[in-house]
Amino acid sequence: MATQHSRSAARMMLAPAVVLLLGWMLVPLIMTLYFSFKKYLPLRGGDLGWAGFDNYVRFVTSSAFWPSVQATLIIVGGTLLITVVFGVLLGLLLNQPMWGQGVVRILVIAPFFVMPTVSALVWKNMFMDPVNGLFAHLWKFFGAEPVVWLSDASLFSIITIVSWQWLPFATLILLTAIQSLDGEQLEASEMDGAPVLKRFYYIVLPHLGRAITIVILIETIFLLSIFAEIFVTTGGAFGSRTLTYLIFQRVLESQNVGLGSAGGVYAIILANIVAIFLMRIVGKNLDA
Amino acid sequence: MGQIQLNQVTKSFGDVQVIPPLDLTIEDGEFTVFVGPSGCGKSTLLRLIAGLEDITSGHIAIDGADATNLPPAKRGLAMVFQSYALYPHMSVRKNIAFPMRMAKMPEDEQNRRIEAAAKALNLTDYLDRRPGQLSGGQRQRVAIGRAIVREPSAFLFDEPLSNLDAALRVGMRLEISEMHERLKATMIYVTHDQVEAMTMADKIVVLRAGFIEQVGSPLELYHKPRNTFVAGFIGSPKMNLIEGPEAQKHGVHTIGIRPEHVQVSKTEGTWKGTVGVAEHLGSDTYIHVHETGLGDLFTVRISGDIPVRHGDTIFLTPDMEQLHKFDENGLRLP
Ligand SMILES: Nc1ncnc2c1ncn2[C@@H]1O[C@H](COP(=O)(O)OP(=O)(O)OP(=O)(O)O)[C@@H](O)[C@H]1O
Ligand SMILES: [Mg+2]
């Protein structure tokens, strides 16, 4: 029974959690905003007073800004494309009855449990190393010149690594969606004369719409801020500097907290633009 | 167009033989109903005919041509599923158009058939809705619409009305019968429902564990069940089967008498018993009688109402004309 008394008691009980959550989200955000208007160079004089919009102007006009936005979008887009396409294919494959199904499913999910730093290092040293990597050996076996992956095809390499990490997530979600498809619908379409590919296009794919939307939205949130994979592989060189990485360099390498904070605010704006676009394109799948 | 012939068809799932060798011919234009207890293989048989399940051995011929290895789409049959199996993301119009689209039929012909089907099935106002926005009965009609636009040589129905409420069921039953009269198409219909089987069928096929127990017209099955299984399965409430001394008086192993062929009296009769539960349906009354000395519970059905109370003594007199006799193997004796 919600009396006046118990309601105010409930508010009191909830208050610590609410305050904690608010603090958790608001304090860092407000601090970022605060520093973005400051000229703050920790090793070169510390707090040098207010800077107005200087940091914002400097951050966008820097020659590294637009390339970093572009690199971010390419990595996010490329990874989404690869994980969704292969996630659907793997999901369909894993849905087939086969020998050792349980083990195979666990193996497919395994990459998701590997820490980003570790997986990036494994890829860098064991696969993509131009001298000792597996790919180098493979290329040499066929008589080709080994590719120096991380410098010659840096974005592609990072997309590969990140896709490898996120493919299990996409596969898992899409597999459960495929499993929830009513078998009678497929049988009905088979009787209606739809061959395999048309069944996939007209029945399976629309059924997966919502799951694909979820995969895209969730992955985007995490992919916009990938860092470790870049840090341990290219270190932001060879055109692989994303917005997140640029901010990191401004704050820690050039020790300019104000400039980095302004970049952080831009990152928030970029994330929101991407979110609005995504909701426009795929969000309608979530209704009904 | 639409004669279906099964020749020594069997089906096994792994080691389990669900359908033992089975022969059955369904004539063109016939309304055939498969009935049988749950798990006896009715759906499996239907799916074998549809081609959704591969047969283990034997042959299926449709209109005289061998169809054993033909894919479902090439058999020219249409199926209506129990769950309707409508495509949820397509409008009603698109659902109905789907088989024609797959057959690459010209657009105007498609539209003509959709309009005709929608009119016949009272769906004209719903063509632009999604299946999720329809009632159960409307969905069922869309499923039927999707089947008829293809003008198949035969329709297969797997318990199409079992998800509907009783009133709607009666309506749809009539509509399907009406459609059968109009289209003169072969129809195979699986059901649990006695009334559906008796009222709709030209021919009933009674199955038990994959075996065909009897094939015949509804009245043939009612009046001349070939064995005790069919006798007990067809008719509601089910036939009273009596073994022991009472049957020996007639010189047979088992006698059967339907509940509606028993006279009831409070004063005199052949058998005496105690009234158990009486179910008053208004038009009829079913009385379950205990302690008759005839074995199991005995059921009688009398038209109209009768003032009996739980525990009353009651006398029963069977109509000798309607007595069924069976031998020790359960087979009918003349
Ligand atoms: N895919 C399958 N794998 C193994 N056994 C199956 C399969 N499909 C059906 N069976 C078995 O075959 C038998 C017949 O099943 P079927 O679905 O034809 O029964 P039914 O007569 O339609 O029953 P109901 O009236 O309950 O729908 C059952 O014993 C069932 O367990
Ligand atoms: Mg069934």
Q: What confidence tens digit (pLDDT) does each residue in B277-305 have?
A: 888 888 889 999 988 777 778 899 988 87
Whether B37 lines ligand 1, by a CB cut-off of 6 Å, is: no
Compute the distance between CA of residue B77 and CA of residue A190 in angstroms, rounded to an integer: 11
**ipTM of the predicted structure?**
0.81
Compute the distance between CA of residue A51 and CA of residue B59 in angstroms, rounded to an integer: 88
Q: Which CATH class is domain A82-207?
A: mainly alpha
- The answer to whether residue B209 neighbours chain A at the CB level (below 8 Å) is no
Q: Which CATH class is domain B4-230?
A: alpha beta
Please give the pLDDT value at position B188.
94
pLDDT tens, B160-214? Answer: 888 888 888 888 888 889 889 988 899 999 998 888 899 999 999 999 988 999 9
Whether B191 lines ligand 1, by a CB cut-off of 6 Å, is: no
pLDDT tops 90 at residue B224? yes
Whether B18 lines ligand 1, by a CB cut-off of 6 Å, is: yes
Compute the distance between CA of residue B32 and CA of residue B190 in angstroms, rounded to an integer: 9
Break chain B into its structural domains and give their ranges.
4-230, 238-333
* Beta-bridge partners for A40: A47
> In this structure, how many other beta carbons lie within 10 angstroms of the beta carbon of residue A162?
26
Residue nearest to atom 1 of ligand 1 (CA): B13
Sign of torsion over alpha carbons B23, B26, B27, B32: positive
Architecture of domain B238-333: Beta Barrel (2.40)
Q: Which ligand is in closest contact with the Cα of B13?
A: 1
Residue B243 corresponds to which tokens in the numbers above? Answer: 């073994």
List Cβ neighbours of B119 (8 Å cut-off, separation of 6 or more).
none
- What's phi and psi for A124, nearest 5 deg? -60, -45
**Residue with tokens 């007209």, as numbered in its chain:** A202
- Which chain B residue's Cα is nearest to A210? B89
**Mutational pocket test of ligand 1: of B34, B44, B55, the residue with most ligand atoms within 8 Å of the beta carbon:** B44
Using 50 as the pLDDT threshold, list the residues of chain A that sit under it. none
List Cβ neighbours of B332 (8 Å cut-off, separation of 6 or more).
B224, B225, B226, B227, B231, B324, B325, B326
Q: Which helix (H) or strand (E) holds B311?
A: none
CB crowding A216-240: b at 16 or more within 10 Å, else e = beebbeebbebeebbbbbbebebeb
**Residue with tokens 């009133």, as numbered in its chain:** B167
- Test the B interface: residue of A180, A186, A190, A191 with most B CBs within 10 Å: A191
- The answer to whether residue A288 neighbours chain B at the CB level (below 8 Å) is yes
pLDDT tens, B63-113? Answer: 888 888 889 888 889 999 888 899 999 999 999 999 999 989 999 999 999
Please give the pLDDT value at position A147.
80
Please give the pLDDT value at position B106.
92
Please give the pLDDT value at position A282.
77
Contact B99 A192 (CB under 8 A): yes
Please give the pLDDT value at position A288.
52
Contact B73 A184 (CB under 8 A): no
Decide if A240 contacts A71 (C-beta within 8 A). Answer: yes
The whole-number average pLDDT for the span B315-331 is 90
Whether B54 lines ligand 1, by a CB cut-off of 6 Å, is: no
Indicate the SS3 state at residue B278: strand
List Cβ neighbours of B274 (8 Å cut-off, separation of 6 or more).
B289, B290, B291, B311, B312, B313, B314
Percent above pLDDT 90 for chain B: 44
Please give the pLDDT value at position B111.
92
Nearest to B102 among A187, A192, A206 (CB): A192
User: Maximum CA pair distance of chain A?
Assistant: 81
Among A48, A199, A84, A229, which residue's Cα sits nearest to residue B101? A199
Question: Taking a contact as any Cβ pair under 8 Å apart, which residues of chain B between 110 and 139 contact chain A?
Answer: 132
